[in-house]
């Protein structure tokens, strides 16, 4: 990426990593997972600063519960009934297309750099 020909504003590309809202507030039994995702979140600003002279941006997306195989391969209505009820608004699981739209926006918006964006319908993990 550093060898790319610079575009407008000396931009050479963007790295988008994936964390999880568990990186902010993990549940009981998620210590290792939460720590790993917290590490990705912590890396974001430092990596963005390190790569800024090269014109490379670094962003992280922290999804909540999304309708993916991570939550099972059952009927989407049943999965939404089980997992989507904990999402304040909209009261459903996230759709992978919503994640993709956010990633596309990050690519297109050169001023997004060095931060983590939650995409979770205001969901917060509490104690089990």
What pLDDT band is residue 7 in, cutting at 50, 70 and 90? very high
17-34 residue pLDDT tens: 999 999 999 889 999 999
Q: Return the sign of the alpha-carbon dihedral for residues 29, 35, 40, 44.
A: positive
Residues annotated as catalytic (active site), given as ranges = 33
CA 56 to mean position of chain CA atoms:
18
Whether the pLDDT of residue 70 is over 90: the answer is: no
What ranges do the domains of the chain cover?
A: 8-119
79-104 residue pLDDT tens: 999 999 999 999 999 999 999 999 99
State the pairing for strand pair 56-63/13-18: parallel
Q: Which fold has domain 8-119?
A: Rossmann fold (3.40.50)
């Amino acid at each position: 990426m550093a060898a790319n020909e610079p575009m407008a504003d000396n931009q050479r590309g963007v790295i988008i990593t994936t964390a999880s809202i568990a990186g902010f507030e993990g549940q009981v039994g998620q210590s290792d997972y939460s720590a790993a995702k917290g590490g990705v979140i912590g890396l974001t600003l430092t990596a963005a600063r390190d790569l800024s002279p090269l014109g490379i941006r670094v962003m992280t997306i922290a999804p909540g519960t999304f309708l993916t195989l991570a939550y099972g391969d059952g009927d989407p209505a049943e999965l939404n009934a089980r997992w989507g009820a904990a999402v304040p608004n909209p009261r459903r699981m996230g759709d992978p297309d919503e994640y993709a739209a956010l990633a596309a926006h990050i690519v297109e918006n050169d001023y997004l750099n060095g931060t983590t964006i939650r995409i979770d319908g205001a969901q917060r993990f509490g104690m089990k």
